[in-house]
Structure 1
Protein backbone atom coordinates (compact mmCIF):
# COMPACT_ATOMS: atom_id res chain seq x y z
CA UNK A 1 0.00 0.00 0.00
CA UNK A 2 1.32 3.42 -0.99
CA UNK A 3 0.94 6.26 1.56
CA UNK A 4 1.35 10.00 1.02
CA UNK A 5 1.39 12.67 3.73
CA UNK A 6 1.14 16.47 3.67
CA UNK A 7 1.03 19.07 6.43
CA UNK A 8 -0.89 22.27 5.77
CA UNK A 9 -2.82 25.03 7.53
CA UNK A 10 -6.58 25.05 7.08
CA UNK A 11 -7.75 28.55 7.95
CA UNK A 12 -11.38 27.91 6.99
CA UNK A 13 -11.52 24.33 8.23
CA UNK A 14 -11.94 20.85 6.82
CA UNK A 15 -15.11 18.79 7.29
CA UNK A 16 -14.64 15.39 8.90
CA UNK A 17 -17.14 12.57 9.30
CA UNK A 18 -16.51 12.06 13.01
CA UNK A 19 -16.26 15.55 14.56
CA UNK A 20 -17.36 18.06 11.95
CA UNK A 21 -15.03 20.91 10.96
CA UNK A 22 -11.43 21.05 12.14
CA UNK A 23 -8.95 23.80 11.37
CA UNK A 24 -5.39 24.85 12.07
CA UNK A 25 -2.24 22.90 11.31
CA UNK A 26 -3.41 19.57 9.90
CA UNK A 27 -1.88 16.46 8.36
CA UNK A 28 -3.54 14.71 5.42
CA UNK A 29 -2.63 11.08 4.76
CA UNK A 30 -3.88 9.25 1.68
CA UNK A 31 -3.33 5.54 1.08
CA UNK A 32 -3.80 3.70 -2.20
CA UNK A 33 -3.63 -0.04 -2.78
CA UNK A 34 -2.78 -1.85 -6.01
CA UNK A 35 -6.45 -1.95 -7.07
CA UNK A 36 -6.78 1.86 -6.77
CA UNK A 37 -8.81 1.92 -3.54
CA UNK A 38 -8.07 5.23 -1.84
CA UNK A 39 -8.45 6.12 1.84
CA UNK A 40 -8.31 9.69 3.17
CA UNK A 41 -7.44 10.50 6.78
CA UNK A 42 -6.75 13.79 8.54
CA UNK A 43 -5.55 14.85 11.99
CA UNK A 44 -4.20 17.79 13.90
CA UNK A 45 -0.41 17.76 13.61
CA UNK A 46 0.95 15.75 16.54
CA UNK A 47 -2.43 14.33 17.59
CA UNK A 48 -3.15 10.63 17.96
CA UNK A 49 -6.78 10.66 16.77
CA UNK A 50 -7.40 10.37 13.02
CA UNK A 51 -10.56 11.41 11.21
CA UNK A 52 -11.98 10.59 7.80
CA UNK A 53 -13.14 12.97 5.12
CA UNK A 54 -16.81 12.67 4.10
CA UNK A 55 -17.58 10.13 1.40
CA UNK A 56 -16.63 6.53 0.85
CA UNK A 57 -15.43 4.03 -1.70
CA UNK A 58 -12.90 6.33 -3.31
CA UNK A 59 -11.28 4.56 -6.25
CA UNK A 60 -8.63 5.63 -8.74
CA UNK A 61 -8.76 4.15 -12.23
CA UNK A 62 -4.97 4.11 -12.22
CA UNK A 63 -3.10 3.80 -8.89
CA UNK A 64 -0.21 5.74 -10.41
CA UNK A 65 -2.44 8.84 -10.15
CA UNK A 66 -2.20 8.68 -6.35
CA UNK A 67 0.56 11.31 -6.08
CA UNK A 68 -1.33 13.83 -8.21
CA UNK A 69 -4.63 13.26 -6.41
CA UNK A 70 -2.94 13.59 -3.01
CA UNK A 71 -1.28 16.90 -3.95
CA UNK A 72 -4.56 18.20 -5.40
CA UNK A 73 -6.49 17.33 -2.22
CA UNK A 74 -3.90 18.99 0.03
CA UNK A 75 -3.98 22.15 -2.10
CA UNK A 76 -7.79 22.31 -2.14
CA UNK A 77 -8.09 21.72 1.61
CA UNK A 78 -5.54 24.45 2.35
CA UNK A 79 -7.03 27.19 0.18
CA UNK A 80 -8.76 30.09 1.94
Structure 2
Protein backbone atom coordinates (compact mmCIF):
# COMPACT_ATOMS: atom_id res chain seq x y z
CA UNK A 1 0.00 0.00 0.00
CA UNK A 2 1.39 3.38 -1.03
CA UNK A 3 0.15 6.77 0.23
CA UNK A 4 0.79 10.11 -1.45
CA UNK A 5 -0.16 13.49 -0.03
CA UNK A 6 -0.17 17.03 -1.46
CA UNK A 7 -1.41 20.41 -0.28
CA UNK A 8 -3.06 22.93 -2.58
CA UNK A 9 -5.46 25.87 -2.59
CA UNK A 10 -8.97 25.25 -3.84
CA UNK A 11 -10.52 28.66 -4.37
CA UNK A 12 -13.60 27.26 -6.13
CA UNK A 13 -14.05 24.32 -3.75
CA UNK A 14 -13.95 20.55 -3.87
CA UNK A 15 -17.06 18.36 -3.48
CA UNK A 16 -16.93 15.76 -0.71
CA UNK A 17 -19.31 12.88 -0.05
CA UNK A 18 -19.79 13.76 3.61
CA UNK A 19 -20.07 17.56 3.93
CA UNK A 20 -20.47 18.96 0.42
CA UNK A 21 -18.06 21.58 -0.90
CA UNK A 22 -14.92 22.58 1.00
CA UNK A 23 -12.43 25.22 -0.11
CA UNK A 24 -9.24 26.93 0.97
CA UNK A 25 -5.96 25.28 1.92
CA UNK A 26 -6.59 21.55 1.44
CA UNK A 27 -4.62 18.33 1.53
CA UNK A 28 -5.29 15.43 -0.84
CA UNK A 29 -4.22 11.92 0.18
CA UNK A 30 -4.38 9.08 -2.32
CA UNK A 31 -3.77 5.51 -1.21
CA UNK A 32 -3.05 2.81 -3.76
CA UNK A 33 -3.70 -0.70 -2.48
CA UNK A 34 -1.96 -3.83 -3.80
CA UNK A 35 -5.04 -4.77 -5.86
CA UNK A 36 -5.01 -1.37 -7.61
CA UNK A 37 -7.92 0.15 -5.67
CA UNK A 38 -7.32 3.86 -5.20
CA UNK A 39 -8.71 5.67 -2.14
CA UNK A 40 -9.16 9.46 -2.37
CA UNK A 41 -9.35 11.50 0.87
CA UNK A 42 -9.28 15.24 1.43
CA UNK A 43 -9.05 17.51 4.47
CA UNK A 44 -8.37 21.07 5.49
CA UNK A 45 -4.63 21.51 6.09
CA UNK A 46 -3.97 20.68 9.75
CA UNK A 47 -7.42 19.20 10.42
CA UNK A 48 -7.96 15.73 11.84
CA UNK A 49 -11.14 14.77 9.95
CA UNK A 50 -10.79 13.38 6.42
CA UNK A 51 -13.52 13.34 3.77
CA UNK A 52 -13.92 11.22 0.65
CA UNK A 53 -14.27 12.42 -2.91
CA UNK A 54 -17.55 11.22 -4.46
CA UNK A 55 -17.64 8.49 -7.05
CA UNK A 56 -17.51 4.76 -7.51
CA UNK A 57 -14.54 2.53 -6.82
CA UNK A 58 -11.39 3.88 -8.44
CA UNK A 59 -8.89 1.32 -9.70
CA UNK A 60 -5.50 1.56 -11.39
CA UNK A 61 -4.58 -1.08 -13.94
CA UNK A 62 -0.90 -0.40 -13.31
CA UNK A 63 0.26 0.50 -9.79
CA UNK A 64 3.11 2.55 -11.29
CA UNK A 65 0.50 5.12 -12.42
CA UNK A 66 -0.33 6.14 -8.85
CA UNK A 67 2.01 9.14 -8.71
CA UNK A 68 0.88 10.47 -12.09
CA UNK A 69 -2.82 10.12 -11.21
CA UNK A 70 -2.22 11.80 -7.84
CA UNK A 71 -0.49 14.80 -9.47
CA UNK A 72 -3.26 15.09 -12.08
CA UNK A 73 -5.95 15.08 -9.38
CA UNK A 74 -4.17 17.85 -7.46
CA UNK A 75 -3.96 20.00 -10.60
CA UNK A 76 -7.62 19.45 -11.51
CA UNK A 77 -8.89 20.10 -7.96
CA UNK A 78 -6.68 23.17 -7.66
CA UNK A 79 -8.00 24.58 -10.92
CA UNK A 80 -11.62 24.57 -9.81
Cα distance in 1 for residues equivalent to 2:33 and 2:22: 27
Instruction: Using structure 1 for the length normalisation, give the TM-score.
Output: 0.97
Q: Any stretches of 5+ residues in structure 2 without a counterpart?
A: none
* Aligned-residue CA RMSD (Å): 0.7
Q: Any stretches of 5+ residues in structure 1 without a counterpart?
A: none
Aligned pairs, how many? 80
Look up the match of 2:19.
19
Instruction: Using structure 2 for the length normalisation, give the TM-score.
Output: 0.97
Q: Which runs of 4+ in 1 moved over 6 A?
A: none
Look up the match of 1:4.
4
